[in-house]
Protein backbone atom coordinates (compact mmCIF):
# COMPACT_ATOMS: atom_id res chain seq x y z
CA UNK A 1 0.00 0.00 0.00
CA UNK A 2 1.51 3.34 -1.09
CA UNK A 3 1.76 5.99 1.62
CA UNK A 4 2.58 9.68 1.05
CA UNK A 5 4.85 11.32 3.63
CA UNK A 6 5.67 15.05 3.96
CA UNK A 7 9.38 15.34 4.92
CA UNK A 8 10.03 19.10 4.69
CA UNK A 9 8.67 22.03 2.64
CA UNK A 10 9.03 21.07 -1.03
CA UNK A 11 9.77 17.39 -0.33
CA UNK A 12 7.19 14.66 -0.96
CA UNK A 13 7.96 10.98 -0.34
CA UNK A 14 5.77 8.21 -1.72
CA UNK A 15 6.72 5.02 0.07
CA UNK A 16 6.36 1.92 -2.13
CA UNK A 17 5.16 4.01 -5.10
CA UNK A 18 6.21 1.01 -7.20
CA UNK A 19 5.08 -2.49 -6.21
CA UNK A 20 7.52 -5.39 -6.08
CA UNK A 21 6.38 -6.46 -9.58
CA UNK A 22 6.82 -2.93 -10.96
CA UNK A 23 10.26 -2.68 -9.31
CA UNK A 24 11.31 -5.88 -11.11
CA UNK A 25 9.96 -4.56 -14.45
CA UNK A 26 11.73 -1.23 -13.98
CA UNK A 27 14.97 -2.95 -12.96
CA UNK A 28 14.80 -5.15 -16.09
CA UNK A 29 14.32 -2.00 -18.24
CA UNK A 30 17.29 -0.38 -16.49
CA UNK A 31 19.65 -3.38 -16.79
CA UNK A 32 18.80 -3.85 -20.50
CA UNK A 33 19.80 -0.22 -21.12
CA UNK A 34 22.95 -0.58 -19.01
CA UNK A 35 24.14 -3.18 -21.56
CA UNK A 36 24.16 -0.30 -24.10
CA UNK A 37 25.50 2.32 -21.68
CA UNK A 38 27.60 0.52 -19.04
CA UNK A 39 28.23 1.93 -15.57
CA UNK A 40 31.47 3.90 -15.39
CA UNK A 41 33.20 5.37 -12.36
CA UNK A 42 33.27 9.20 -12.50
CA UNK A 43 36.11 11.24 -10.97
CA UNK A 44 35.94 14.57 -9.15
CA UNK A 45 36.85 17.74 -11.00
CA UNK A 46 40.33 18.95 -10.02
CA UNK A 47 41.43 16.17 -7.65
CA UNK A 48 40.56 13.34 -10.05
CA UNK A 49 39.50 11.27 -7.03
CA UNK A 50 37.06 8.46 -7.94
CA UNK A 51 33.42 8.49 -6.86
CA UNK A 52 32.40 5.49 -4.75
CA UNK A 53 29.21 5.24 -6.87
CA UNK A 54 29.19 4.06 -10.48
CA UNK A 55 26.99 5.96 -12.94
CA UNK A 56 25.23 5.94 -16.29
CA UNK A 57 22.37 7.97 -17.81
CA UNK A 58 19.22 7.60 -19.92
CA UNK A 59 17.45 10.23 -21.98
CA UNK A 60 18.66 13.05 -24.24
CA UNK A 61 21.16 14.49 -21.73
CA UNK A 62 23.43 12.76 -19.24
CA UNK A 63 25.12 14.28 -16.18
CA UNK A 64 28.80 13.49 -16.06
CA UNK A 65 31.83 14.39 -13.95
CA UNK A 66 35.47 14.28 -15.00
CA UNK A 67 38.75 16.06 -14.18
CA UNK A 68 37.57 19.20 -16.04
CA UNK A 69 34.18 19.62 -14.35
CA UNK A 70 30.53 18.62 -14.11
CA UNK A 71 28.32 18.93 -17.19
CA UNK A 72 25.41 17.58 -19.19
CA UNK A 73 26.21 15.91 -22.50
CA UNK A 74 24.37 13.76 -25.05
CA UNK A 75 26.96 10.95 -25.17
CA UNK A 76 28.54 8.37 -22.83
CA UNK A 77 32.02 9.56 -21.76
CA UNK A 78 33.62 6.12 -22.32
CA UNK A 79 31.78 4.62 -25.33
CA UNK A 80 30.91 7.92 -27.08
CA UNK A 81 27.41 6.54 -27.86
CA UNK A 82 24.15 8.44 -27.34
CA UNK A 83 22.45 7.60 -24.02
CA UNK A 84 19.61 4.99 -24.20
CA UNK A 85 16.01 6.21 -24.16
CA UNK A 86 14.38 6.90 -20.85
CA UNK A 87 12.22 3.97 -19.62
CA UNK A 88 8.50 4.63 -20.36
CA UNK A 89 7.57 3.98 -16.72
CA UNK A 90 9.78 6.92 -15.67
CA UNK A 91 8.39 9.27 -18.35
CA UNK A 92 4.90 8.38 -17.07
CA UNK A 93 5.91 8.93 -13.42
CA UNK A 94 7.34 12.39 -14.20
CA UNK A 95 4.21 13.42 -16.15
CA UNK A 96 2.03 12.26 -13.27
CA UNK A 97 3.78 14.09 -10.44
CA UNK A 98 6.01 16.89 -11.80
CA UNK A 99 4.29 20.07 -12.98
CA UNK A 100 7.05 20.81 -15.52
CA UNK A 101 8.11 20.00 -19.10
CA UNK A 102 9.41 16.43 -19.61
CA UNK A 103 12.56 15.29 -17.81
CA UNK A 104 15.68 15.28 -20.02
CA UNK A 105 18.06 13.31 -17.81
CA UNK A 106 17.77 10.11 -15.84
CA UNK A 107 21.01 9.77 -13.87
CA UNK A 108 21.57 6.16 -12.76
CA UNK A 109 23.62 5.74 -9.58
CA UNK A 110 24.83 2.26 -8.55
CA UNK A 111 25.78 1.86 -4.88
CA UNK A 112 27.66 -1.36 -4.17
CA UNK A 113 28.87 -2.20 -0.67
CA UNK A 114 30.38 0.82 1.09
CA UNK A 115 29.41 3.40 -1.56
CA UNK A 116 28.09 6.77 -0.38
CA UNK A 117 27.47 10.28 -1.66
CA UNK A 118 28.61 13.33 0.28
CA UNK A 119 26.35 16.32 0.98
CA UNK A 120 25.95 18.45 -2.17
CA UNK A 121 23.48 20.63 -4.06
CA UNK A 122 22.12 19.82 -7.54
CA UNK A 123 22.68 23.11 -9.35
CA UNK A 124 24.03 22.24 -12.80
CA UNK A 125 20.52 22.61 -14.30
CA UNK A 126 19.13 25.82 -15.83
CA UNK A 127 15.59 24.67 -15.06
CA UNK A 128 15.68 25.24 -11.30
CA UNK A 129 11.90 25.77 -11.27
CA UNK A 130 11.41 22.11 -12.23
CA UNK A 131 11.60 19.52 -9.42
CA UNK A 132 14.00 16.58 -9.15
CA UNK A 133 12.39 13.13 -8.85
CA UNK A 134 14.25 10.17 -7.32
CA UNK A 135 13.37 6.45 -7.53
CA UNK A 136 15.10 3.90 -5.26
CA UNK A 137 15.63 0.23 -6.19
CA UNK A 138 17.32 -2.48 -4.13
CA UNK A 139 19.04 -2.08 -0.77
CA UNK A 140 17.77 0.51 1.72
CA UNK A 141 19.74 3.73 2.07
CA UNK A 142 20.10 6.37 4.76
CA UNK A 143 19.41 9.61 2.86
CA UNK A 144 20.32 12.97 4.46
CA UNK A 145 18.75 16.34 3.69
CA UNK A 146 19.56 19.80 5.09
CA UNK A 147 18.90 23.37 4.04
CA UNK A 148 20.31 25.65 1.35
CA UNK A 149 23.64 26.11 3.17
CA UNK A 150 26.19 23.41 3.98
CA UNK A 151 25.96 24.15 7.69
CA UNK A 152 22.85 23.87 9.80
CA UNK A 153 20.61 20.99 10.83
CA UNK A 154 20.01 17.94 8.61
CA UNK A 155 17.65 15.05 8.90
CA UNK A 156 18.04 11.43 7.94
CA UNK A 157 15.36 9.55 5.99
CA UNK A 158 15.44 5.85 5.14
CA UNK A 159 14.74 5.16 1.47
CA UNK A 160 13.67 1.67 0.44
CA UNK A 161 13.09 -0.12 -2.86
CA UNK A 162 10.08 1.31 -4.72
CA UNK A 163 10.12 4.63 -2.86
CA UNK A 164 9.81 7.86 -4.90
CA UNK A 165 10.85 11.29 -3.62
CA UNK A 166 10.17 14.63 -5.30
CA UNK A 167 12.23 17.72 -4.39
CA UNK A 168 10.86 21.03 -5.61
CA UNK A 169 10.20 24.59 -4.57
CA UNK A 170 11.92 25.36 -1.26
CA UNK A 171 13.82 22.04 -1.35
CA UNK A 172 15.20 22.23 -4.90
CA UNK A 173 18.55 23.65 -3.73
CA UNK A 174 18.71 21.74 -0.44
CA UNK A 175 21.98 20.01 0.46
CA UNK A 176 21.54 16.23 0.37
CA UNK A 177 23.51 13.00 0.24
CA UNK A 178 23.56 9.28 0.97
CA UNK A 179 25.25 8.35 4.27
CA UNK A 180 25.21 4.60 3.78
CA UNK A 181 23.56 1.59 2.22
CA UNK A 182 22.11 -1.28 4.25
CA UNK A 183 23.93 -4.14 2.59
CA UNK A 184 21.72 -7.20 2.09
CA UNK A 185 18.41 -5.47 2.95
CA UNK A 186 17.01 -6.30 -0.51
CA UNK A 187 17.66 -9.06 -3.05
CA UNK A 188 16.37 -7.07 -6.05
CA UNK A 189 19.68 -5.93 -7.59
CA UNK A 190 21.84 -8.79 -8.96
CA UNK A 191 25.18 -8.72 -7.11
CA UNK A 192 23.61 -6.66 -4.31
CA UNK A 193 23.38 -2.95 -3.64
CA UNK A 194 21.15 -0.04 -4.54
CA UNK A 195 20.26 1.71 -7.80
CA UNK A 196 18.93 5.26 -7.69
CA UNK A 197 17.27 6.85 -10.71
CA UNK A 198 17.28 10.67 -10.56
CA UNK A 199 15.05 12.46 -13.09
CA UNK A 200 15.84 16.07 -13.97
CA UNK A 201 14.82 18.82 -16.35
CA UNK A 202 18.03 20.48 -17.54
CA UNK A 203 17.17 23.33 -19.93
CA UNK A 204 14.51 26.00 -19.33
CA UNK A 205 12.56 25.27 -22.55
CA UNK A 206 12.65 22.87 -25.52
By the criterion CB under 6 A, which residues form the site for ligand MD3? Answer: 107, 109, 117, 122, 132, 134, 145, 165, 167, 171-172, 174, 176, 178, 196, 198
Who's near 201: CB < 8 A, 6+ residues apart? Answer: 98, 100, 101, 102, 103, 104, 125, 127, 130
Q: Which sign does the torsion angle of CA 95, 120, 177, 190 carry? A: positive
Q: Which is nearer to ligand MD3, 104 or 196 (CB)?
A: 196
Residue 37 interacting partner from Fe ion, ligand MD3, none (CB closer than 5 to 8 Å by kind) = none
Residue 76 interacting partner from Fe ion, ligand MD3, none (CB closer than 5 to 8 Å by kind) = none
Can you tell me the distance from the alpha carbon of 135 to that of 61, in angstroms, rounded to the nearest whole number? Answer: 18
The reply to whether 66 sits near Fe ion by the rule CB under 5 A is no
Q: Is residue 87 within 8 Å of 191, Cβ to Cβ? A: no
Binding piece for Fe ion, criterion CB under 5 A, among 20-28, 65-73, 115-123, 156-164: 115-123
Q: How far is the CB of 165 from ligand MD3 (least distance, A)?
A: 6
Binding piece for Fe ion, criterion CB under 5 A, among 97-105, 119-127, 139-147, 160-168: 119-127
Which residue's CB comes closest to ligand MD3? 196
The reply to whether 124 sits near Fe ion by the rule CB under 5 A is no
Q: Which is nearer to Fe ion, 16 or 122 (CB)?
A: 122
Who's near 182: CB < 8 A, 6+ residues apart? Answer: 139, 140, 141, 142
Ranges of beta strands (E only) in 48-102 are 54-58, 62-66, 69-73
Q: How many CB atoms lie within 10 A of CB 152?
A: 9
Q: Is residue 92 within 8 Å of 106, Cβ to Cβ? A: no
Length of the chain equals 206
The reply to whether 122 sits near Fe ion by the rule CB under 5 A is yes
In the window 87-106, what residues touch Fe ion (CB under 5 A)?
Answer: none
Q: Is residue 184 within 8 Å of 156, Cβ to Cβ? A: no
Binding piece for Fe ion, criterion CB under 5 A, among 5-13, 56-64, 96-104, 114-122: 114-122
Q: How far is the CB of 76 from ligand MD3 (least distance, A)?
A: 17
Query: For Fe ion, how many residues bind (rule: CB under 5 A)?
Result: 1
Residue 132 interacting partner from ligand MD3, Fe ion, none (CB closer than 5 to 8 Å by kind) = ligand MD3
Q: What is the DSSP letter of 96?
A: H
Which residues are at the interface with Fe ion (CB under 5 A)? 122
Amino acid sequence: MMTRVAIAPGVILWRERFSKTEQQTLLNDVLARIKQAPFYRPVMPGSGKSFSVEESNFGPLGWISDKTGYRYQATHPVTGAAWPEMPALLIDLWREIADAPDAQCCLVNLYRQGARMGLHQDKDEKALSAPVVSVSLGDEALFRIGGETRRGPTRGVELASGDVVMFGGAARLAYHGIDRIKQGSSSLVPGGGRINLTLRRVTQTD
